[in-house]
Amino acid sequence: MQQIFKGMDNGASTIDANFKELTSTSYSPTVQDLTVNGQLVVNPNQTEKIAKFMDNSSKLMVEAHRMNNTVSVKFNGYVQGLSANNLMGTMPIGYRPSVETRFPVISVWSKFMMFVIKTDGTIMTTSLAEDDNTHGVEGSVIYQTKDSFPS
């Protein structure tokens, strides 16, 4: 877009060129750089969706919150130790990560454990406590999704 100044010799042709640019298919209204001065206000009509479910063995509670493309997941409950690559459940469509997401969880007995959420929604253990006892666990993770917004 060309700027137009009062008294320009080519003002009419510049205005005409600006209108042609706006109506052409090559014009993109995408903002390249944006500086916010003051407070950035989020749309008050934004929707949050929540999914709650139990894992396959009904011992681990999963709660997922989705706002725009951000998903926040909380886990708590019980898992059996000493079993890596154990299927814990599946995140519903609309809450699945855009990349495989690994994160630590902690056992109430201070045992370190690692969970993974795959892009197909599969929730699995990747490493667990070094015994086969049932462990109370708690953890959370935040990630981005490319899934369609859940209805």
Give CA–CA dist 138/100, Å, rounded: 20
CB neighbour list of residue 130: distance below 8 Å, 6 or more residues apart: 81, 82, 111
Domains of the chain plus CATH, in order, are 48-144 (2.60.40.1830)
- The answer to whether the CB of 101 falls within 8 A of the CB of 77 is no
Per DSSP, the three-state class of 33 is coil
- How confident is the model over 32-47, as a mean pLDDT? 75
Q: Kindly tell me if the per-residue pLDDT of 77 is higher than 70.
A: yes
pTM of the model: 0.66
What is the reported pLDDT for 8? Answer: 66
User: How many other β-carbons are positioned within 10 Å of the β-carbon of residue 103?
Assistant: 17
Name residue, tokens 């917004």.
Answer: 149
Q: Kindly tell me if the per-residue pLDDT of 4 is higher than 80.
A: no
